[in-house]
């Protein structure tokens, strides 16, 4: 239920158990104890070597098993990077920024995509992209252009795409010409010239160039909306350089994240006129002990006649493993952990996932969430510990046949949230 940045191993006085615990996948874990003298530093180097047979591996180990090997390999990598960046006309700062762009192509950020409502209304089938020759099998980086003065941004984006391809990251770069019809052909010729030059430079990287120059006036509305909704990064040249747009998106994301930090109970002063006027008063008052429960084990127990299993988590506590409830009917279902990490599917949980499932029992990352926003305090919180955890609150989860209910209380506000399949 934690993240890498707040792992239990970082807690004051925490000690590693010396064993791997329960893992779903094969794991290789290395640990080396070192002593760092005062005002000194040490360097640790870990190598991963791959060979077709034992002899190749032993040769690689013999070549790399001395302190100078890392410095030599680092120098060779630096030299290769210098050659590639100069070939593409990129600075080292550009190369670092391209890697930042690549992150958003792998893990999309909502501030670099269309608004969620536009994605929901415009997203069609993958086959909807095929009239444009785009398969939809690769992440899409889309740049919209409407002025010949912005061609340099397109040229820069093409260099970035080639740099990523040289490092094995396959993406589809799409530039959409949205200029008015009377001037569209002149701009299209200029865009296609840039794209063809990039294709020629990248021929040694493979026959598929993954570069597409499209005209908006030749696309039907459904294809255009599907393309925009599918793209993981959507930029418009009129909004500035690629890096400027990414910086603004990151600043907006940071501001939104700060707004989702746990709010103090005192922030719930006067109800907002936008909020509901009445709240269902939950009976749970925040007790973290096992009172009223049978077979209490420190985390949970059975309530009453044993038809409900109740988990109570206070502070930063999480269950040893995700304790989930699986609820489904013939065509729909979900599972949700005691912390509120939920995942929903239609018909088949493997093939038709509606929300993401991390399949990681350690972080127990949620694929969906519900937030409550306090307009008076300008902060947000959640009745689900997995979404926004407030150490000052106690979270109570009821797992029953066909439902899971989450109860918590913040100041005068009691929350009661039920997941059910209708």
The full set of domains in the chain, from first to last, is 95-258 (3.40.50), 282-420 (2.70.98.40)
Beta strands (DSSP E) in 178-246 are 211-215, 233-236
Distance CA(43)–CA(124), nearest Å, equals 51
Distance CA(52)–CA(116), nearest Å, equals 47
Question: Interhelix angle for 151-166 vs 242-259, to 10°?
Answer: 80
Distance CA(324)–CA(330), nearest Å, equals 19
Note the pLDDT of residue 287. 45
CB atoms within 10 A of CB 395: 27
pTM: 0.59
The answer to whether 189 touches 213, Cβ cutoff 8 Å, is no
Question: pLDDT category, 324, cuts 50, 70, 90?
Answer: very high
Judged against a pLDDT cut of 80, whether residue 286 lies above it is answered with: no
Question: pLDDT category, 24, cuts 50, 70, 90?
Answer: low
Mean pLDDT of the chain: 85
Percent of the chain past pLDDT 90, that is, above it, reads 51
Question: pLDDT category, 310, cuts 50, 70, 90?
Answer: very high
Look at residue 394 and give its three-state secondary structure.
strand
Q: What is the mean pLDDT of residues 173-199?
A: 89
More confident residue, 152 or 20: 152
């Amino acid at each position: 239920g934690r993240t890498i940045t707040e792992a239990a191993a970082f807690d004051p006085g925490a000690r590693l158990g010396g064993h791997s615990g329960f893992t779903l996948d094969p794991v290789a874990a290395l640990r080396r104890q070192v002593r760092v003298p005062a005002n000194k530093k040490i360097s640790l180097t870990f190598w991963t070597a791959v060979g077709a047979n034992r002899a190749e591996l032993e040769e690689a180990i013999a070549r790399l098993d001395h302190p100078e090997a890392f410095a030599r390999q680092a120098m060779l990598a630096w030299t290769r990077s210098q050659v590639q960046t100069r070939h593409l006309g990129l600075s080292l700062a550009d190369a670092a920024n391209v890697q930042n762009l690549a992150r958003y192509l792998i893990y999309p950020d909502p501030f670099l995509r269309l608004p969620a409502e536009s994605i929901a209304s415009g997203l069609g089938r993958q086959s909807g992209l095929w009239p444009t020759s785009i398969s939809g099998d690769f992440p899409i980086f889309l740049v919209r252009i409407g002025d010949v003065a912005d061609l340099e941004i397109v040229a820069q984006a093409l260099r970035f795409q080639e740099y990523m391809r040289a490092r094995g990251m396959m993406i589809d770069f799409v530039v959409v010409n949205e200029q008015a019809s009377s001037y569209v052909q002149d701009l299209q010729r200029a865009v296609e010239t840039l794209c063809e030059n990039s294709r020629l430079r990248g021929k040694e990287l493979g026959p598929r160039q993954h570069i597409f120059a499209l005209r908006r006036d030749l696309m039907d509305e459904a294809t255009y909306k599907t393309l925009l909704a599918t793209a993981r990064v959507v930029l418009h040249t009129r909004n500035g350089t690629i890096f400027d747009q990414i910086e603004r998106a990151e600043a907006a994301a940071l501001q939104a994240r700060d707004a989702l930090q746990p709010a103090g109970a005192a922030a719930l002063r006067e109800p907002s006129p936008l909020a509901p006027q009445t709240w269902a008063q939950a009976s749970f008052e925040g007790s973290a002990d096992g009172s009223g429960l049978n077979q209490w084990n420190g985390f949970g127990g059975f309530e009453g006649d044993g038809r409900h299993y109740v988990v109570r988590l206070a502070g930063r506590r999480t269950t040893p493993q995700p304790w989930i409830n699986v609820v489904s009917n013939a065509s729909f279902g979900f599972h949700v952990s005691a912390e509120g990490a939920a995942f929903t599917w239609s018909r088949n949980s493997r093939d038709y996932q509606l929300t993401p499932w991390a399949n990681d029992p350690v972080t127990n990352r949620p694929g969906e969430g519900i937030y409550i926003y306090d307009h008076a305090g300008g902060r947000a919180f959640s009745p689900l510990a997995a979404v926004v955890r407030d150490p000052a609150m106690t979270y109570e989860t009821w797992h029953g046949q066909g439902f899971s209910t989450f109860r918590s209380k913040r100041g005068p506000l009691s929350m009661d949230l039920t997941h059910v399949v209708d």
